[in-house]
Structure 1
Amino acid sequence: MASQRNLKITVVVFLVTYTLLQLQLMQSKDRMSASSVQHLHNHAILTAAPSVTEGTKEQTRLLDHSTQQMDSTTAMNVPIQRTHCGGNVTLLLGHQRQNRGFLTIGLCTVPRSKASYLKDTLHSLVTRMSEADKKRVVIVVFMGYHNESIAEETLRMIKSNFNHSLVTGGLQVVQPDIGIYPNFSKITRKTFNDTLQRVHRRTKQNIDFAYLFGYCEGISDYYLHVEDDVVAATGYISDIETSLSTQERLQNQWFVLEFGGGFFGKLFRSRDLCMMKTYLLLFQVEKPGDLLLSDLKLIKLHDSKKVKNGKKLFKHSGTYSSLEGKIVKDKTAKKKLPRENPLPTTTEKIYISRLTSNPDAKIETSMKTFLNFTPESAYEINNTVYFWAAAPHASDYYRVILKTPVLSSRVTIRTGAPVTGKDRLDFAEIFINRNFTRGGMCRNQMPLGKLSYGKFEHKFLVPEKIKCLEILVTHGQKSWVIISQIEIET
């Protein structure tokens, strides 16, 4: 009875939350429709600019200090209130364009103790788009901190290196009111086995993302979320447009297009940003932002498989994380990739990293899937989550059945969380077969080997024909299982 009562409570909470989000989305659409009528009446499409508040005394003093010797790069201090979604954010540098653009690129930046990558990130974003693109793309830097000396140093760096972008309105620097943050010492509940430090850090990050989304809601038609330590591929704007055209031509339903891992390189429609702000603030303490995004996919599309991915256009460039003491190892730093090959992201800050595409296949498993960590997640390219299942039993399987047999040069399997190694699969054998499968079974299987510390890699001396790949559990285990990566290289 107690379990049924808990289930009912969970369902009610989910339905209430979903209803609130849908109401928020409807209000956002209504505002857009009303503003479109007014814009047509004025014979111009004006930007539904985010609101700018007076901010705190510290922000006002910082703003006054930054206006010296700036002329046209200075933002207007008068609040512009056109939507309710962009409040509690102050524009420090740059100015708001009058015309609605094609794309807004938003990023949050926070201090790192040993290095800063913001300059390189902005240089990459600005220089790797065309001059024509610069007229319809706006970059918004969200300074998620209130340290006066560091903030002044950041503003000086941006003014001295990106003055032209500030003058043309292609770059804006904003800062939130300090009052948007809760008293983190009162957040004492741990989730996902994280330390309180990590819970507080990811909660703040969710809040930063939320207010950045709100500020950027009306600037452009689309919004691209990146981080302050990434490198963009040359011509990334045209690649994004090509992907959008493909989705439109195929009449695909999509909520987010993914051009990177984790929570960077994600493209949304700007009309969804206000709803996303509300969602992140509602569940700011519960989960990291990328997992909240995965949940939101299911709410929006009712089927995570409908989410279409783009190719990777961004990779991490930094070594030192914004989380104190954490070092991010970029394993692709020494690899030179041709331009036509999407930039890979192999870093411990995200769940999955791959360099190849996988052939089309059907995925089957007897293991019990946890939430939306679906079996396909381990096999799909550019996915930001993994396959997560309850503790397996002997004879459980994970099976990849290719639509068309391929000649493979290598098979790679990774289990367990990439950073901690937890929830790895300890006892399993790997099989392949060359022939057509009937009745859902992989017949005439050929053993390739066993997992070793949760990992497996096999190189064929001569490319081997594969129709089916199977991971067969040989002994049960008490811990759950994560399968984070499966590659069939051709």
Structure 2
Amino acid sequence: MRVRKKDRSWVTSQQEQMTVGTWRPSHVNTRPALFCSTTESQLDSHTSFLQRGAPWRPMGDRMRCFRKRSTLPFLAVLVSFLLFLSLYLDAGYVLEAEKRDPGATLLPPAASDRYVHPFRGLTNFSGTINVTYRYLAGIPLPRRKYLTIGLSSVKRKRGNYLLETIKSIFDQSSYEELKEIVVVVHLADFDLVWCENLVQEITRKFPHHIIAGRLLVIQAPEQYYPSLEGLKRNYNDPEDRVRFRSKQNVDYAFLLNFCTNLSHFYIMLEDDVRCSRNFLTALKKVITSREGSYWVMLEFSKLGYIGKLYHSKDLPRLAHFLLMFYQEMPCDWLLIHFRGLLAQRDVIRFKPSLFQHMGYYSSYKGAENKLKDDDFEEDSIDIPDNPPASLYTNINVFENYDATKAYSSVDEYFWGKPPSTGDFFLIVFNRPTKVSRIKIVTGTEDRQTDVLHHGALEVGQRSVGTKQGRQCLSYVTLGEFRGGNIEVNNVNQKIGFDIECVRIVVTANQKEWLIIRTISLWTAQLRIST
């Protein structure tokens, strides 16, 4: 679920006046005025009128007056009910990412088109929330950076990985990349002694980054938090888990709110991850490739809140959204709904993943958490750069799992019905290209039998147009598939020509369907050095 903008100020428990468009913590006993301007006194007058129990009789103007006065409150209640009903109708519930095994749990409810129109009615969530933050280390620089990396951290019962996470961010970035990032750590625990001790450790280990304005440590005072008692027990969660995830939503909301004007883009991490080398260069490469296309959230990890990238201009409304629904469901579910409400219906996830979960103990009760992202690669500079191409296949395609999905960096794949000897999957480049490396993976974790059992990888030259599309006149075989996969290095050194075609050829019939999960190509271009 996600709900958009309304230029709302944060209202603390000391402020007793309720105004239209003002977000208010749930512990204040007022009716939310999200969809109309009806005042409390008007609502009370309607209630008292009904309570008097006046006998029915033709009342003329009095009846018309009653109808007019009761219409707005009724419509407000109806619209609110329909909106919340639509958000809660999705079935199933999975606990937070730190307890989730992606291969063994249900997916969260998908964002639906029906959310878009009511959400777009809330169009003024563009202003930041009025919070006075404590600066525990560092101060923001006046110049806007390219990327803000946001971390929220609380005291764990077992283990603490925050310092390792910060170290990984800086160690895996080049000197030039460091100039373009700012790391913001929100210490969101109410134990001030713990916060003070941790700040001392951070300032001792990263003094140069703090002085350079690359590292900020902040805290939103407890007084700005809504009530964390008596929360709704959605999905029959234990009370302590509801409190934990509800507070976590507010923690992230305050972090997002603070980071709004620090950079052009924002990426959300957890406090127990490690980064791939030169991840910023990889991010910039992807962002550049998406110029001219609409997106709300790009994903660079498939785990929880890790590696979720946003435009900084969207942070205020995301912060408001998390605050509005802080007690409804976990943050990762809210992020999915927010994406759908802003009309990005599909997940845009890139491989390989740039961030890996490394924490062994969860921040919730210190439970063991061994989740790993199997798409993670240590060297992000090694991300493939598939050149522009056209794709052809004579394998029967299943539904919309078409050939282009195997060639895309997005987390999708080609799926075809059982192939026969001589069937092919062909990639024809727009222009001849020097290729240094080719890696093709078939099958998935869920469908490990849908691999290419017998096949060969070929590269060709001298492409021509035919009735069936473009193809090459001559080919050279680079190798055979083993276990459904193939990887060939130093391709440009093994052949004496620039490649125009890459072809997968089926060399024996098989009964199983075929999934081509990824086709990764590396062109022989100058690599970035660090």
Task: Give the C-alpha shift of residue 143 in structure 1.
Answer: 0.4
Query: Matches of 1:264 and 1:274 in 2, distance apart?
Result: 19
Letter in 2 for 1:187: L
1:108 aligned residue (134, 137, 152): 152
Shift of the alpha carbon at 1:341? Answer: 5.2
Q: Distance in 2 between matches of 1:175 and 1:8?
A: 33
Which of 297, 308, 311 lines up with 1:269 in the alignment? 311
- Measured against aligned partners, the alpha-carbon deviations of 1:3-42 in whole angstroms (never above 9, x if no partner) come to xx999943587699867854666563xxxxxxxxxxxxxx
| Contact 2:322/2:331, CA 8 A, preserved across alignment | yes
Matched, 1:198 2:237: no
TM-score (norm 1): 0.58
Out of 194, 210, 233, the residue aligned to residue 253 of structure 2 is: 210
- Describe how 1:396-475 pairs up with structure 2 within 5 A: 400-401=415-416, 411-414=443-446
CA 1:84 to 1:412, structure 2 compared with 1: closer, same or farther past 3 Å?
closer
TM-score, normalised to structure 2, is 0.54
CA RMSD in angstroms comes to 4.6
Q: Are 2:188 and 1:144 equivalent residues in the alignment? A: yes
> Of 102, 125, 150, which aligns to 2:169?
125
State the 1:110 CA deviation.
0.9
Residues 14/201 of structure 1: CA separation in 2 closer, same or farther (3 Å cut): same
Deviation at 1:361, TM superposition (A): 10
2-side partners of 1:96 and 1:102: how far apart? 14
Q: Which residue number corresponds to residue 321 of structure 1?
A: 362
3-state secondary structure, aligned to 1:103? strand
Q: CA deviation at 1:234?
A: 1.1
Contact 1:255 1:297 in 2 (8 A): yes
Partner of 1:256: 297
Q: For residues 460 and 283 of structure 1, what CA distance do their matches in structure 2 show? A: 45
Give the deviation of 1:364 after TM superposition: 4.3
Deviations 1:434-484 (A, max 9, x none): 9xxxxxxxxxxxxxxxxxxxxxxx95699887999669xxxxxxxxxxxxx
Contact 2:300 2:349 in 1 (8 A): no
Please list every run of 5 or more consecutive structure 2 residues that lacks an aligned counterpart in the other structure.
1-76, 88-113, 385-392, 427-439, 455-481, 487-505, 520-530
Distance 1:331 1:136, change over 3 A: closer
8 Å CA contact 2:275, 2:356 repeated in 1:
yes
Structure 1 residues 111 and 12, CA gap change in structure 2 (3 angstroms): closer
- Select the residue among 181, 202, 225 that pairs with 2:225: 181
Amino acid aligned to 1:313:
L
Residues 365-376 of structure 1 aligned to structure 2 (within 5 Å)? none
The offset of 1:414, in angstroms, is 3.4
Asked if 1 retains the 8 angstrom alpha-carbon contact of 2:149 and 2:266, the reply is yes
Query: What secondary structure, in the 3-state scheme, does the structure 1 residue paired with 2:234 have?
Result: coil
Change (3 A) 1:487 1:289: farther
Is 1:232 equivalent to 2:304 in the alignment?
A: no
Whether 2:82 is the aligned partner of 1:10: answer yes
Aligned counterpart for 2:339 among listed residues 292, 297, 313: 297
- The amino acid that maps onto 1:225 is M
Separation (CA, whole Å) in 2 of partners of 1:9 and 1:208: 27
User: Are 1:279 and 2:316 counterparts?
Assistant: no
Asked which structure has the greater CA Rg, the reply is 2
Cα distance in 2 between the residues matched to 1:466 and 1:205: 53
Q: Secondary structure at the match of 2:186?
A: strand
Could you tell me how far apart the structure 2 residues matched to 1:274 and 1:459 are? 48
Give deviations 1:74-127, integer Å, cap 9, x for gaps. xxxxxxxxx643524222210110111111111101111221111111111112
Count of equivalent residues: 340
SS in 2 for 1:141: strand
Match of 1:158 in 2: 202
- Deviations along 1:145-175, one digit per CA (max 9) or x if unpaired, are 1212211110111110111111111111001
- Which whole-Å CA distance do the structure 1 matches of 2:513 and 2:364 have between them? 38
Name which structure has the greater RCO, CA cutoff 8 Å, separation 6+. 2
Distance 2:297 2:80 in 1: 30
Letter in 2 for 1:201: F
- Give, in whole Å, the separation in 1 of the partners of 2:321 and 2:397: 33
Kindly indicate whether the alpha-carbon contact (under 8 Å) linking 2:356 and 2:373 is maintained by their aligned counterparts in 1: no
